[in-house]
Amino acid sequence: LRFRLSPNAAVALAVRVKRAGKEFVGDQRELSLLDEQPNEETPYERLLGDAMAGDGALFTREDAVEAAWAVVDPVLETHHPAHSYKPGSWGPKQADALIAADGIWHNPR
């Protein structure tokens, strides 16, 4: 089993397969998964090429971006404070209050 991270990401699994017949002789066979094919544009090359050609299919329209910010911006402005807790624990004690009204959470501390 081989992993290649650079320049082109790939995963390969090689095995020996017995040839047909009575002889005990094998041939190596390989299954490869490649992230990129040779001579294929990288995602950024494609995106920039489409932008220069005026093809907006891969881009979000302005009204969709504004609609997304209308949802996200209030959360960023009025979020609840984060509570610290010990790594490896079940979280801060304040989290217990989120489910307490239903009474179905059992904390295994």
Convert the pLDDT of each residue in 15-71 to its tens digit.
999 989 888 889 999 888 877 666 778 888 989 999 999 999 989 999 999 999 999
Please tell me the predicted confidence (pLDDT) of residue 55. 93
Tell me how far the alpha carbon of residue 69 is from its chain's centroid.
23
Least confident of 4-13, 29-38, 98-107: 98-107
Place of tokens 């997304």: 68
pTM: 0.38
Which residues, at least 6 apart from 66, have a Cβ–Cβ distance to it below 8 Å? none
State the pairing for strand pair 26-34/2-4: unpaired
